[in-house]
Amino acid sequence: MMQTELDLFNPASPAEPQWIGKQAVVLPGFALAWVDVLLPELRQIIARAPFRHMLTPGGLNMAVGLTNCGALGWISDRRGYRYSPVDPLSQQPWPALPPAFIELAALAASAAGFADFRPDACLINCYKPGNRLSLHQDRDERDYSQPIVSVSLGLPAVFQFGGHARNESTRRIGLRHGDVMVWGGEDRLRFHGVLPLKPGSHPLLSGRRINLTLRKAG
Ligand code: MD6
Ligand code: FE
């Protein structure tokens, strides 16, 4: 079946919010003005809590590199998926959420109609060419009434946005450097994933895509 792809890659398309659900929106370029602040913060976080390939409960290493900042960090191992206040690699608390991450997330959430969003966790994913994220739901957080704010940096990716059952058809959404996606409410538990990253070179992040997802986990 043909799938329609939102044409966010077309530079001629307006940088206006693109609603992809009743309570899910892409804010093209929303984070561009923040990149100069976000990248140095990211470098410091990664120096203390490096990207690693976590083990799935099934015993496979995830292809996407992963780390966290904030009071809680999302982890996976043989025992399952959960949030932990401690980095299992260092046995230390995760690096703190930089104030700029919190401000950006709160501003984006309010632009999407979610007032007073205050994240306590930021999952940081690092994709290399060929890496994908299979369809999943985000359901390890305590309060599904809180939205998720996702910030895309580096190489562009194609995001899959599905329904409330794994077998429902998915829509494809192009996400570029600086795009922010916010989703919550009735769209909060939709299945979603990322198609294999195409090779490329980004001026700031070279051959990588980094995605931040800011959540209220606890
Ligand atoms: C990614 N994002 O874009 C992976 N989950 O690399 C997610 O899995 C995600 O972007 C929930 C809400 C927004 C997201
Ligand atoms: Fe997710």
Ligand 1 pocket check for 131: Cβ under 6 Å: no
How far is 16 from 178, CA to CA, in rounded Å? 13
Q: What residue's CA is closest to ligand 1, atom 13?
A: 150
Label residue 35 exposed, middle or buried (CB < 10 Å: 0-12, 13-18, 19+).
Answer: middle
Which ligand has the minimum distance to the alpha carbon of residue 211? 1
Ligand 1 pocket check for 112: Cβ under 6 Å: no
Domain that includes residue 85, residue range: 3-215
Instruction: Tell me the β-bridge partners of 160.
Output: 172, 193
Q: What residue's CA is closest to ligand 1, atom 3?
A: 211
Ligand 1 pocket check for 133: Cβ under 6 Å: yes
Q: How many structural domains does the chain have? A: 1
Are the C-beta atoms of 83 and 72 separated by less than 8 Å? Answer: yes
Please tell me the distance between residue 110's alpha carbon and the centre of ligand 1 in angstroms. Answer: 18
Q: What residue's CA is closest to ligand 1, atom 5?
A: 138
pTM of the predicted model, to two decimals?
0.93
Ligand 1 pocket check for 181: Cβ under 6 Å: yes
Are the C-beta atoms of 185 and 109 separated by less than 8 Å? Answer: no
CATH code of the domain containing 157: 2.60.120.590
Angle at which helices 99-111 and 35-48 cross, to 10°: 130
Ligand 1 pocket check for 148: Cβ under 6 Å: yes
Greater confidence (1 vs 155) lies with 155
Answer whether residue 14 shows pLDDT above 70.
Answer: no
Answer whether residue 130 shows pLDDT above 90.
Answer: yes
Q: What residue's CA is closest to ligand 1, atom 10?
A: 150
| pLDDT tens by residue, 47-100 | 999 999 999 999 999 999 999 999 999 999 999 999 999 999 999 999 999 999
How far is 136 from 164, CA to CA, in rounded Å? 10
- 3-state DSSP: the chain helix, strand, coil percent, rounded to 5? 15, 35, 50
| pLDDT tens by residue, 163-196 | 999 999 999 999 999 999 999 999 999 999 999 9
